[in-house]
Copies of this chain bind each other. A is one copy, B any other.
């Protein structure tokens, strides 16, 4: 319901953009229990700030790109850390059933199930993609997720092969239960996403039912991945950093432990930044926002 508007008490004389603090209009909340609605796009506000909405949007976009930059940077730092840890401290890589084959496991899981997965998850949030045909971005989202899934499955193959060659049991630890659940749900999510959102024959009602589940399960898989990575790094460091290790036991925090613990912190930070980007409704692609009920048919080259 439209409220009557009065001159803003916080900046009564403002006549130009530079006079007015972007959120100044919201200070009128102090006068009562509600704030007046923000002016619609292109509509002049009551206190002489014609571009208030545009500036709020601009601020939101700048904040998004700062968060997105952080997401990309922290993701790259995760990949760099896990590669350095396993190449410098764990002896490098091979595919021969030895401990060097195991080293592919953390590298592939962190790169695939965490970083590439996170990059794919936030793709639709990039405002640059909103004014364009959605189909190429949808295909890129599916391709990034497929690459992420392939790397994750390869990461599982690495550890299963290593365990089988060394006659170590599979899938008994809590780490393995959480990790395998993450990959299984991810495979189911990708398949359902392909069937529901990319195949043109899927009905609209199915997409509408599937979409909130797809979005929620997407975040849930990331939470599982992060929990699996933290428990896996923790377990590995207890296994390998003993009193007779060259750098000393884990409890003396040798440089390997510092690096791998930092990798864990970076993974958690990456997960939090991705979940922040996913949960901010202002950063959702316009047709996906909760106040809009519009759903567009897919694979039809729609322009939004």
Contact = CB atoms under 8 A, between A and B. Distances in A.
Interface of A: 23, 26-27, 29-30, 33-35, 37-38, 168-169, 172-175, 177-178, 181, 203-205, 208, 216, 219-220, 223-224, 226-228, 230-231, 233-235, 237-238, 250-253, 257, 260-261, 264-265, 268, 271-272, 275-276, 279, 281-282, 289-291, 293-297, 302
Nearest to A33: B296
29 contacts: A23-B205, A26-B295, A29-B204, A29-B295, A29-B296, A30-B205, A33-B297, A34-B295, A35-B293, A37-B293, A169-B252, A173-B250, A174-B230, A174-B233, A174-B234, A174-B260, A174-B261, A174-B265, A177-B261, A178-B264, A227-B227, A227-B268, A230-B230, A231-B234, A234-B234, A234-B235, A235-B238, A281-B281, A282-B290
Given A37-B293, A226-B223, A268-B178, A169 B251 contact: yes
A268 B252 CA distance: 31
A26 B205 contact: yes
Given A172-B253, A223-B272, A290-B290, 6 more contacts: A172-B250, A174-B230, A174-B237, A178-B264, A227-B227, A230-B230
Judged by DSSP, the binding face of A is helix
A279 B281 CA distance: 10
Contacts of A168: 251
Query: Top 9 closest A-B pairs, CB basis?
Result: A169-B251, A231-B231, A34-B294, A281-B290, A174-B264, A291-B291, A231-B234, A174-B234, A227-B230
